[in-house]
Structure 1
């Protein structure tokens, strides 16, 4: 685990988003990083597709988008 230096304005956006999402600031940053990485690995999928697949992989009953390509994963 390490420290990441980010701009003050981005930190403020993280703080606000974490309150709205009921996550810690670190958890919100991790969520944005993971979704960003998955988006880069799967440019044909929407944000909603990525979240639905992450929920399904975690065992949550989320509908799979129709005809979506296999998900590339983040190690």
Structure 2
């Protein structure tokens, strides 16, 4: 499955979700977006689950790499 990675740690917080949504929208079905974040993106997971029909919530995965680095993968159906 092709994956696009987006590191949002240097993006100002109010601009993160719009950039993430745009990157996810640009994916083809069967691809995924992995974001690198400075916190657990659980609120984004719930937002995507509620608002984005193409988000494959069952195959979402998040990995805490250290105290300030989380890698979350958002698959697209």
**TM-score normalized with structure 1 length:** 0.27
More strand per residue = 2
Structure exhibiting the larger radius of gyration computed from Cα positions: 1
More helix per residue = 1
